[in-house]
Structure 1
Amino acid sequence: MNGPGAPAPLIPGPEVRLPTEFGDFAVRTWTDTRTGVEHLGISAAGTDPDAESAAPLVRLHSECLTGDVLGSFRCDCGEQLEQALALISLHGGTVLYLRGQEGRGIGLANKLRAYALQEAGADTVEANEQLGLPVDARDYQAAAEILLQLGLDRIRLLTNNPAKRDRLEVYGVHVEAMVPSEVPARAENERYLQTKRDRMNHHLNLLRASPVQQS
């Protein structure tokens, strides 16, 4: 694999069928033997014939227990995951669910500590800095290696974050296009999204949710 460092030693598990409310997916784990972290690949062939000629759609989704499992309104993670699964089911492609990346890599306990600082007035960047932690500690070498093992060296990346595109390119995955992954803002996460746009270079329009979506 191209890029800094040796290829991540990843061990794939068996592929199994997973029926969900978004459609049927083929899923398998990928164990990174450097860290012991188990990532999850979620793939679908899609039903849209017009998508067959395009580069595969890929979403790198960092695990977020509060958003993905508890449905927290403090972030947009859970809604982005649901959006990605629906798009992959329709157009085909893969969601890589990257574990060990809670709170952009600072861990669950530190994420909650950062939440406490945010409640005292800090934005998400300032909270991490006050804790002496990186603003974004995630690494995408394992994600790139999984994609390359799957034969996905040219993709369309479902993201608003150009840093993900740039890091995949370093590791040998060519991103032909960034496909927007924006979900409507809520009152509870509007400042969080503004910070991602203004201080972390995310491509966001800060769409407003309808009253029905807010309820």
Structure 2
Amino acid sequence: MTVLPEAFAPLVGTMAPVAVRSQVTVPLHFPGGPTATAEVMTFHGLADGKEHLLLAFGEWEALLNPGPEDPAPLVRLHSECLTGDVFGSQRCDCGPQLREAIEKISAAGGFLLYLRQEGRGIGLYSKLDAYALQDNGLDTYEANVALGHGEDERDYTPAAQMLGALGLNSVRLLSNNPDKAVQLAALGITITEQLPTGVHLTPANNAYLTAKRDRTAHTLTFPPAE
């Protein structure tokens, strides 16, 4: 099934409707990682006006009209990280999480929402400024606050709108972040299950992942210290 551009669909809650503006097939290949084919969708009318993407994988059309016994589709909300996704930075776990998510979702069928929310919503330059503060002893959340930002400024309203545009109001969420589930639920998306990603630990991101685990209750279980 092709989602027709400009076609309005039922939406969750009281949010304004959005339109799918385009759909294009994109073959993906990560060196040393997954190979997959995605249907990439763009949208009109998202709440923040940003150019977020939805990538549909596998036999995704069947997931739009599940039977009563079928599981909810697998979905990941992935916030853009230029340094990790593109340049392979080891200061975070974003790049490995993106590759893991594409591998899992392409195998099972489902959706990856690529959200333009660099640096937990503070932007690329501010994220790099926060890195400098982290080098002087602040953790990732303290650095954001020191720059005059919130610890995490992401708003997942556009994600709920994108899911709603496809008629999806129930998902299995691939995420370690409890805030994603809380926000989606408040926006009318039922989370039938929350599945954690792997723990992509490196010497360079140990403090970063520790802060996520200890300050914001990310479901991260570190391997025993040797």
Tell which deviates more after alignment, 31-40 or 105-114: 31-40
Q: For residue 199 of structure 2, what is the aligned residue in structure 1?
A: 183
The 2-side partners of 1:76 and 1:162 are apart by 17
- Does the Cα contact within 8 Å between 2:12 and 2:164 map onto a contact in 1? no
Please report how far the alpha carbon of residue 45 of structure 1 lies from its aligned counterpart in structure 2 after TM superposition. Answer: 2.4
Q: How far does residue 35 in structure 1 lie from its aligned partner after superposition? A: 3.8
Q: 1:64 aligns with which of 58, 81, 92?
A: 81
The residue aligned with 2:64 is none
Residue 90 of structure 2 corresponds to residue 73 of structure 1: yes
**1:150 shift after superposition:** 1.1
Once the two structures are TM-superposed, the CA of residue 44 in structure 1 deviates from its matched residue by: 1.2
List alignment gaps of at least 5 residues for structure 2.
Answer: 1-10, 30-34, 61-66
5+ long unaligned stretches in structure 1: 209-215
Q: 1:138: which partner in 2?
A: 154
Deviations 1:26-77, CA, capped at 9 Å, x for gaps:
1111244554311111011259xxxx93210000001111111111100001
Residue 90 (structure 1) aligns with: 107
Contact 2:75/2:173, CA 8 A, preserved across alignment: yes
2:21 to 9, 13, 16: 13
Runs of 4+ in 1 over 4 A off after TM superposition: none
In 1: Cα distance, 2:104 partner to 2:135 partner: 34
Q: Give the partner amino acid of 2:200.
A: P
| Corresponding pairs, count | 202
Work out the CA distance in 2 between the residues paired with 1:150 and 1:59. Answer: 15
Q: Deviations over 1:119-156 (max 9, x none)?
A: 01111111112112100000011100111111211100
Residues 118 and 8 (structure 1 numbering): CA distance in 2 closer, same or farther, change over 3 Å? farther
Does the residue aligned with 1:113 lie in a helix, a strand or coil? helix
> How far apart in 1 are the matches of 2:112 and 2:46?
21
Partner of 1:170: 186
Percentage of pairs with the same residue? 48
Cα separation, partners in 2 of 1:190 and 1:28, compared to 1, 3 Å: same
Q: Deviations over 1:192-215 (max 9, x none)?
A: 00000000110101248xxxxxxx
Residue in structure 2 matched with residue 41 of structure 1 by the alignment: 54
RMSD: 2.0
Alignment partner, residue 39 of structure 2: 26
Contact residue 10 and residue 142 of structure 1 kept, 8 A:
no
Which moves more between the two structures, 178-187 or 131-140?
Answer: 178-187
Separation (CA, whole Å) in 2 of partners of 1:207 and 1:148: 38
Q: Which residue of 2 aligns with 1:115?
A: 131
Using the alignment, how far apart are the partners of 1:32 and 1:107 within structure 2?
21
- Relative to the length of structure 2, the TM-score reads 0.83
> TM (normalized to structure 1)?
0.87
